[in-house]
Structure 1
């Protein structure tokens, strides 16, 4: 059996976040993976199963998946071609090229890049590596929950698992991981930003919905269509998935708060938009579902090209019952300046897909 390329990442208790939330919060530090994100788990597993004797791999990605694919290809002594949309920052192109990838910029969004990657895979005989939509990808991602269970020890499980959703690969992996460790009663809080919310839109419609465009400030963050398996999980009784949205401004506010706690960076002067208060108190924090062990919340911290978004609430209600999120407003000058200060290589947080 091939050796895993991913590392067993730390599960750290965040004292400051725990105080804010009112319950113990653990962070699964996937940003410490060799490629910078959790994507390495699934992509390495897929490539080790399918690409070991191939001519190379091709992967459509605006960020983390591409970095993982390049890392895996280098370890397997394979050429890697990464197809990225024109919405991707030049920084992403530069970093991929530095890692040895052949980078092609095609189309305006992920769907255009995916179509080109399929074409190249067929014409050049390369293995197509999906950023999120393949059973082997999900199988690899499931290991993150196995590690959490090992870290917490026997007879201990979290009150909820909080993740961000782009195309749904991590969500599918977390569901599989919960099944593997016998935690199917632990709810998953699936976070998206307004304008990159293909899962939430699909849950509300009761069918898979394709967004017209990704309109979130984090242009590369989401996929216009969530993977079919992720949607199916939301409609099944296998696990509880709570789909939640935040605006870009709320995500930015949370990112600023998180980084201020993490590195002690002072906030910019001026007012910050307060998170709306959910019914029953705990303004802007998670409230674990009481029918589950409420002792902790585990958050999978995705990786290098990612954003952390605190939810408005996690009450356990179906997304259709949630209040409609406020309309997205343009970032003001101070917030644009904040992006450049906190993330000096680019203005906006980057994708996980």
Structure 2
């Protein structure tokens, strides 16, 4: 359900950050994001358990991964998305022959609707809070262990915490517990930063960021628990910085990604105790299919004006 993705050295980002920087190219997964790993694993497992239908809630990327997996498995899929989901993301989900239902102004509202559709013959594929997802996402670190020497830190973006939990699980099972994690978010969608400060998940009153893929108003419990077991540092950047990170990936590496992904690139040059000590880091280019080139340019123009 997913590909082993390339790991490349980025000389432009290494020069900018002053750290040897490698990129794990999850944007080239069949569905355009890392979600293919955990979602694909979960869909396969739930079908083995007898599920005849798959139901998901998503801002776009997780839903596309469920739709892709369902089509390949021959299982019908329904994805409930909020009104903020882009037309492009909805179109891609529908191209995978999945039913798309638009409901609510946020993922939380779409999720509540999706749960009402679950019955005895169906399985609910959560976009970030399921141990099956984390086990699938952990394969990213399995690949890193085969592809290169151990880094000092892994930089990744956090929405609901699924990727973070997967990477932490992967670090643990590969004996890389000493590798730090830098968790990047955008201001206005910084539910993980606030959770770390509070010591437990915090429900944001609303998402106030263009990085819609980071739009979980509260992270999963396990992501906070991992912060007690491994070294995890939160870095929060602005929407403008996240868009700039996307444009850097596009200009330097020909990769089109969402601001949720650009946040990780932006975090490289932010004040960070982890990165100040690191000599070698891996940035997870988590991808995203909800934007196009023109939208990035429009945002960049807006932020510069």
Match of 1:120, SS state, is coil
Query: Shift in Å at residue 343 of structure 1?
Result: 4.3
Residue 68 of structure 1: aligned partner: 65
Is the aligned partner of 1:22 residue 2:18? yes
Query: Shift in Å at residue 43 of structure 1?
Result: 0.8
Which deviates further from its counterpart, 295-304 or 71-80? 295-304
Is the aligned partner of 1:232 residue 2:236? no
Query: Shift in Å at residue 347 of structure 1?
Result: 6.1
- 1:160-191 deviations in whole A, cap 9, x for unaligned? 00000000000000000001111101100000
Q: Please point out which of 119, 132, 147 is paired with 1:151.
A: 147
Is the aligned partner of 1:56 residue 2:31? no
Query: Shift in Å at residue 135 of structure 1?
Result: 0.4
Residues 30, 302 of structure 1: 8 Å contact kept: yes
Residue 110 of structure 1: aligned partner: 107
Shift in CA distance, 288/233, structure 1 to aligned 2, threshold 3 Å:
closer
Q: TM-score, normalised by structure 1?
A: 0.76
- 1:96-121 deviations in whole A, cap 9, x for unaligned? 11111100001111111111111101
Residues 22, 283 of structure 2: 8 Å contact kept: yes
Match of 1:189, SS state, is strand
Query: Shift in Å at residue 253 of structure 1?
Result: 2.4
Mark the runs of 5 or more structure 1 residues left unpaired by the alignment.
Answer: 265-274, 308-338, 349-353
Query: Shift in Å at residue 249 of structure 1?
Result: 1.4
- 1:23-82 deviations in whole A, cap 9, x for unaligned? 211111111111111111101111111124322100000111011101100110000000
Match of 2:183, SS state, is strand
Residues 196, 222 of structure 1: 8 Å contact kept: yes
Which deviates further from its counterpart, 296-305 or 254-263? 254-263
Residue 121 of structure 1: aligned partner: 118
Is the aligned partner of 1:243 residue 2:239? no
Residue 163 of structure 1: aligned partner: 156
Structure 1: distance between partners of 2:269 and 2:238: 16
User: Following TM superposition, where does structure 1 have runs of at least 4 consecutive aligned residues deviating by more than 4 angstroms?
Assistant: 282-291
Structure 2: distance between partners of 1:180 and 1:118: 32
Question: Highest Rg: 1 or 2?
Answer: 1
Structure 2: distance between partners of 1:23 and 1:114: 40
How many pairs are equivalent?
290
Residue 259 of structure 2: aligned partner: none
Is the aligned partner of 1:37 residue 2:33? yes
Mark the runs of 5 or more structure 2 residues left unpaired by the alignment.
Answer: 256-264, 301-305
Alignment of 1:189-338 (within 5 A): 189-234=182-227, 236=228, 238-263=229-254, 284=270, 288=274, 294-305=278-289
- 1:91-146 deviations in whole A, cap 9, x for unaligned? 22211111111000011111111111111013x73110001100010000000001
Residue 12 of structure 1: aligned partner: 8
Residues 165, 222 of structure 1: 8 Å contact kept: no
The structure with the largest helix share of the pair is 2
Query: Shift in Å at residue 18 of structure 1?
Result: 1.1
Shift in CA distance, 283/7, structure 1 to aligned 2, threshold 3 Å:
closer
Structure 2: distance between partners of 1:212 and 1:303: 26
Shift in CA distance, 151/220, structure 1 to aligned 2, threshold 3 Å:
closer
Residues 21, 287 of structure 1: 8 Å contact kept: no
